[in-house]
Amino acid sequence: MIRWTTRFALPLVASLCLATTAQAQQATERYIPLGQSPGLSSRYTYMGQIVRIDAAARTVTVGNADTTRTIALTEHTKIWLDRSATRQTTLIGRLEDLQPGQRIEIKYEDYATKDRAAWIKAAVVR
Amino acid sequence: MTSAVPLALHRFTLTRLTPIVFVLAACRPAPPPVPVPDPIAKGRAIFFNETFAGNGRTCATCHRAEDNFGLSPAFIATLPPTDPLFVAETNPDLAQNFENPRLMRALGMILENQDGFDDLANNFNMRGIPHLLALRTSVASAAGPRTGWSGDGAPGDGSLRAFATGAVIQHFTKTTNRIAGVDFRLPTNDELDALEAFQLSLGRQEDLTLPLPLKGVVPARGQELFRDNTVGKCNACHFNAGANADPAIFGAGAGNLNFNTGVEDLPDQPADLTGELMPPDDGFGTPGDGTFNTPPLVEAADTEPFFHNNSVMTIEGAVGFYDGNAFNESPAGRLIAAATGSGIELDATQIEAIAAFLRVINALENIREALALLATPNPARTAPSSANVALALEETDDAIRVLAGAGLHRDAVRELQTVERYLRQGPAGDPAPVQAAVQALERARADMIETP
């Protein structure tokens, strides 16, 4: 019997499996209000208020009672304007839509480094 | 669990305190028993009844207990026009860009916006409704949980627990604005816990261990082909006919994996033939990488249609797919050819043999499930509840259908028909017909497999 060899199996694993790392769906994530993402909010996301926005560097500095962090936006970072408090639909936003003092929630691209945002939910209360 | 309390202290506690406990017990009335929370029962109630203040759908609208917790076109054809499944036909707010009623009724397809809600008219995919059986065996992978057809169906942490939140947003909404608190309410943490517990309780709780001592020569040959890495090569990705990869090939703990098997490249897909808009489905991620999740095969034969786009109606057709160009020219097909020296080439007899094997293991699972349902007594009586009897009847009917569909095990089919007669004859709660049905189920099983 021909056996699957390590020589072939490893590339198979690498090309078929490792390319598909753990990923939650972002489509429906958009409509989950800030702080309510199941399994993420309060555990793996960072919530606070925007302290500073550096449009040139494409970073936001966010603070809460515990710490202040500066996090970079990448070309893949999604920004959602959460208007559920005013019973309006969530909009897709841009960095220019964010404002100091605004309450936001950030999911990191990599929880270990905590330096880049996969998505940002920004509360819009008016 | 080992107690950390020293043995001497145990002795002290027992000898000194026992009389005190007895005295106290004699002086006070016994407190009422503390109800034990049953998350599965709670999850069941939510699954079947909770609309989450949405458009009227529940989880069970699309995942029917009577249809293996999935939904086939044949079952859809039995539903009244007022069924909440058809909410796009009855709610003007959902008439556009929420479902495609023609594809839903003809092919059992549901609309998904897994790549985003920005262009509802064009950015969507039509997918089948997967069954929810054996989830305990089919979600975990080394790279994280895999839910839904492409493995990325859940928001939040991507877990089965979080899946319900995404499903409410996608399928339960009153309007396409999808505003939480207006168009639906999101499940609470307790509800998510309960729904996860209920879903994990459905169907098989562990994988088979192949080879099975099958009695039928064709299913037995099918099992050999299934496991033969020079012919069927099925066992590599569907280890033990489940949803997990062979650990000898993919490594221990690889679990449930995604592959691009080329299903999207099948010619003449029924949905395409209708002329309805069918944007290409790019699978896992946004943008997608073309891969889809590996489903378990034990439950395959009675949960047609097959693949994420319901493109194949018969289990023979699903096996035959791996003999075709779409698979053998796909990324998965090419790598299998590189790993084993050839693609998958099956003749008609081999396709039917593998399908016969899948039909028989499906029927055996139907019988296992029916026996489990009939062995669960109604708390108030000695017989199973009428709901369990009804589900056991569905399982029995599925077993008959998958066996008779290929002329397999005619004696077992006759026994299963006897089971149906027994289960239909007795008044609810009468144990005699149920006992007779159990015996007939065991005879049917013994016709297909060596039993101890």
Domain end call among B325, B349, B373:
B349
* ipTM rounded to 2 decimals: 0.90
* Nearest in space to A26 (alpha carbons), one of B331, B106, B155: B155
> Least CB-CB distance to B335: which of A15, A32, A44?
A15
Structural domains of chain B, count: 3
Please say if the pLDDT value at position A15 is more than 70: no
Closest CA in chain A for residue B123: A27
In order, the DSSP letters of B228-270 are: -TTTT-GGGTSGGGSSB--HHHH-TT-BB-EE--SGGG-TT-H
- Domain membership flag for residue B433: yes
Q: What is the pLDDT of residue B5?
A: 35
Domain end call among B349, B381, B406:
B349
- Domain ranges, residue B75: 39-200
Whether residue B51 sits in one domain with residue B187 = yes
In chain A, residues with a C-beta closer than 8 Å to the C-beta of B145 are 22
CATH number of domain containing B225: 1.10.760
Whether residue B291 sits in one domain with residue B334 = yes
The C-alpha of B40 sits at a distance from chain A's nearest C-alpha, in angstroms, of 19
Q: Per the structure block, which two tokens stand in for B269?
A: 């897909």
- Domain membership flag for residue B16: no
Whether residue B343 sits in one domain with residue B367 = no
For residues A92-104, average pLDDT: 97
Residue A105 touches partner B, C-beta closer than 8 Å: no
For residues A2-24, average pLDDT: 52
Q: What is the pLDDT of residue B35?
A: 66
Whether residue B48 sits in one domain with residue B191 = yes
Residue B22 DSSP SS3: helix
Q: What is the pLDDT of residue B239?
A: 98
Q: What topology is assigned to A24-123 in CATH?
A: OB fold (Dihydrolipoamide Acetyltransferase, E2P) (2.40.50)
Whether residue B166 sits in one domain with residue B90 = yes
Q: What is the pLDDT of residues A77-91, one digit of tens each?
A: 999 999 999 999 999
- Domain membership flag for residue B371: yes
Q: In chain A, positions 7-66, which contact chain B (CB-CB < 8 Å)?
A: 8-9, 11-13, 15-33, 36-41, 44
Whether residue B46 sits in one domain with residue B193 = yes
- Domain membership flag for residue B100: yes
Q: Can you give the three-state secondary structure of A27-60, one letter per residue?
A: HHHCCCCCCCCCCCCCCCEEEEEEEEEECCCCEE
Rounded to whole angstroms, the Cα distance separating B56 from B78 reads 19
Whether residue B81 sits in one domain with residue B195 = yes
How many CA atoms lie within 13 Å of B229's alpha carbon, on the beta-carbon side? 17
Rounded to whole angstroms, the Cα distance separating B444 from B437 reads 10
Whether residue B188 sits in one domain with residue B50 = yes
Q: What is the pLDDT of residue B4?
A: 36
B222 Rama class: left (phi>0) / alpha (psi -120 to 50) / beta: alpha
Whether residue B191 sits in one domain with residue B45 = yes
The alpha carbon of residue B197 and the mean position of all alpha carbons in its chain are separated, in whole angstroms, by 14
The label of the residue with tokens 């990923």 reads A23
Spans of chain B below 50 pLDDT: 1-27
Domain end call among B279, B314, B349:
B349
Residue A92 touches partner B, C-beta closer than 8 Å: yes
- Domain membership flag for residue B172: yes
Whether residue B183 sits in one domain with residue B58 = yes
Whether residue B157 sits in one domain with residue B46 = yes
Whether residue B224 sits in one domain with residue B194 = no
pLDDT category of residue A22 using cuts at 50, 70 and 90: low
- Domain membership flag for residue B399: yes
- Residue A27 to residue B115, Cβ atoms within 8 A: yes
- Domain membership flag for residue B28: no
> Least CB-CB distance to B152: which of A8, A25, A92?
A25
The C-alpha of A54 sits at a distance from chain B's nearest C-alpha, in angstroms, of 27
Q: What is the pLDDT of residue B384?
A: 80
The percent of residues in chain A predicted with pLDDT above 90, rounded, is: 78
- Domain membership flag for residue B18: no
